[in-house]
Amino acid sequence: MPNRVVITGMGVVAPNGVGLAPFLEAIRTGRSGITHHPLLAELQFSCQIAGTPILSDSLIANYFSELELRNFNSSGILYGVIAAMDAWKDAGLLIEQSVEPDWDSGTIFGSGTTGVDKFREAIYKIDDLQTRKLGSNVVSQTMASGISAYIGGKLGLGNQVSSNSSACTTGTESILMAYERIKSGQAIRMLAGSTSDSGPYIWAGFDAMRVCTFKHNESPESGSRPMSASASGFVPGSGAGAFVLESLESALARGARIYAEVLGGHINSGGQRGTGTMTAPNSTAVQRCIRSAVQHSGIQASEIDLINGHLTATSKDSLEIQNWTEALQRTGENFPYINSLKSMVGHCLSAAGSIECVAALLQMEHAFIAPNINCEDLNPEITERISASSIPQKQIPYPIHTIAKASFGFGDVNACIIFRKHIDN
């Protein structure tokens, strides 16, 4: 019989809060983490605002030794390791320095482009004929699996240690991949999540595509406007989210606190066919992904209390709402609550799904619906399909039992996951 899978630990490094308690406070009150970046202005970016986590040297020193930080230049690995180790501790698990690996535990931790600043540093040294001065950690900081390798070494993980990369679906996908490994009995626990570097070398391509807003450089906190009629593009962000998933049997045996049960989900692609392109979704595939996630989870669409959407503050927001309504066959007043964390942190790219899942599960844990900020002028194409009351702009106390979370990414890829509040039987 397949194992039931639960989440027993979480960690987060977000633009509006590092650590669960500050992040919880931020999403409760609708506090933005988006600020003006003088460097982006200096580099003549159209969008000169972004969401970047604030980390002090003293905080970083709790996770990395002086030796590890020597010649270290990968914000993505920094964010990911901090979130991952916090999740491990939050689950009540020990970080042991044993000779034997932990064969029962592994990680699937994703990223988009990792160590791009380290790449840039290396390129300059190579061009200046200083290859021998690169140091010994260039490869570990720039390889695609650098984040999972660092986490695996920090925690001594002996099960699968891998990195996934699927654009903006990366974080949600990593949780589903970890879920499947535990469900099939190949691991007892897995650390899942994703991370994204900060900085102009990550964000420049999006600025060049003109998908980022340029209208709010003087008012950064109002720049990210999912579901708003005046939305003018997304605000880039960065950070990491992490989760400890384990079998229900293991969690109960050690008396672990359980945030939620992962009921199931679905991952698919629109194949860049029909309406799907490299940058636009195939609506048929999106709806199919949502419906399949609901079906595989063994629930009815009517049971969903909250949707945590992808909703990036682009012209595709109204299409996403249309896809939700058609996939769930719920419209008007019958539509569940929906929110987008991106209004507070921007679009954290490969880290988006994992950070947003942390936000979703904190709402379940503390029984509230977080506000959507910056959408006082709701897009009329959205309110034609769903009630404005489904898009709260202030915190609402509300008992949440079932959450649907979806992420959609470049390459026409989709992931949807269903969480349910665990009730002791």
Q: Comparing 83-87, 96-100, 217-221, 263-267, which segment has the lowest mean pLDDT?
A: 96-100
Instruction: Tell the residue number behind the tokens 């933005």, with chain if given.
Output: 32
Given pLDDT bands bounded at 50, 70 and 90, which one contains residue 425?
A: low
Q: Show Cβ contacts of residue 396 under 8 Å, excluding neighbours closer than 6 positions.
A: 337, 368, 369
Count of helix runs (H) and strand runs (E) in the chain: 16, 15
Predicted TM-score of the model (pTM): 0.95
Average of pLDDT values for 205-214? Answer: 94
Average of pLDDT values for 407-413? Answer: 96
Q: Look at residue 118 in the predicted model and tell me its pLDDT.
A: 59
Give Dmax over CA atoms of the chain in angstroms.
66
Q: What is residue 309's three-state secondary structure?
A: coil
Which residue pairs, CB below 8 angstroms and at least 24 apart, start in 378-381? 378/227, 378/228, 378/229, 379/227, 379/228, 379/229, 379/231, 379/317, 379/318, 380/229, 381/318, 381/321
What are 244-300's pLDDT values in tens digits? 999 999 999 999 999 999 999 999 999 999 999 999 999 999 999 999 999 999 999
What are 211-242's pLDDT values in tens digits? 999 999 999 999 999 999 999 999 999 999 99
Segments of the chain assigned to CATH 3.40.47.10? 5-253, 263-420
Does residue 71 surpass a pLDDT of 80? no
In degrees rounded to 5, what are phi and psi of residue 49? -120, 155
Mean pLDDT, the chain, rounded, equals 94
Average of pLDDT values for 412-418? Answer: 98
What are 36-61's pLDDT values in tens digits? 999 999 999 999 999 999 999 999 99
Average of pLDDT values for 389-399? Answer: 97
Q: Show Cβ contacts of residue 347 under 8 Å, excluding neighbours closer than 6 positions.
A: 168, 224, 234, 235, 236, 237, 312, 313
Q: Look at residue 134 in the predicted model and tell me its pLDDT.
A: 59
Q: Show Cβ contacts of residue 124 under 8 Å, excluding neighbours closer than 6 positions.
A: none
Q: Comparing 18-27, 88-97, 280-289, which segment has the lowest mean pLDDT?
A: 88-97
Average of pLDDT values for 331-347? Answer: 98
Q: Which one-letter amino acid corresponds to residue 89? A: K
Given pLDDT bands bounded at 50, 70 and 90, which one contains residue 98?
A: confident
Q: Look at residue 325 in the predicted model and tell me its pLDDT.
A: 98
- Pairing mode of beta strands 49-51, 34-36: antiparallel
Does residue 330 surpass a pLDDT of 80? yes
How far apart CA 295 and CA 206 sit, in angstroms, is 35
How far apart CA 278 and CA 383 sit, in angstroms, is 28
Q: Look at residue 126 in the predicted model and tell me its pLDDT.
A: 52
Q: Look at residue 131 in the predicted model and tell me its pLDDT.
A: 59
Q: Look at residue 34 in the predicted model and tell me its pLDDT.
A: 98
> Which residue would you say has higher pLDDT here, 143 or 27?
27
Q: Look at residue 235 in the predicted model and tell me its pLDDT.
A: 98
Q: Look at residue 340 in the predicted model and tell me its pLDDT.
A: 97
Q: Look at residue 96 in the predicted model and tell me its pLDDT.
A: 80
* CATH number of 5-253, picked from 3.40.47.10, 3.90.440.10, 3.90.1720.10, 3.50.50.60: 3.40.47.10
Q: Look at residue 144 in the predicted model and tell me its pLDDT.
A: 85
What are 352-364's pLDDT values in tens digits? 999 999 999 999 9
For the chain, percent of residues with pLDDT exceeding 90: 86
Average of pLDDT values for 153-175? Answer: 97
Average of pLDDT values for 150-176? Answer: 97
The CATH H-level (homologous superfamily) assignment of domain 263-420 is Thiolase/Chalcone synthase (3.40.47.10)
Given pLDDT bands bounded at 50, 70 and 90, which one contains residue 129?
A: low
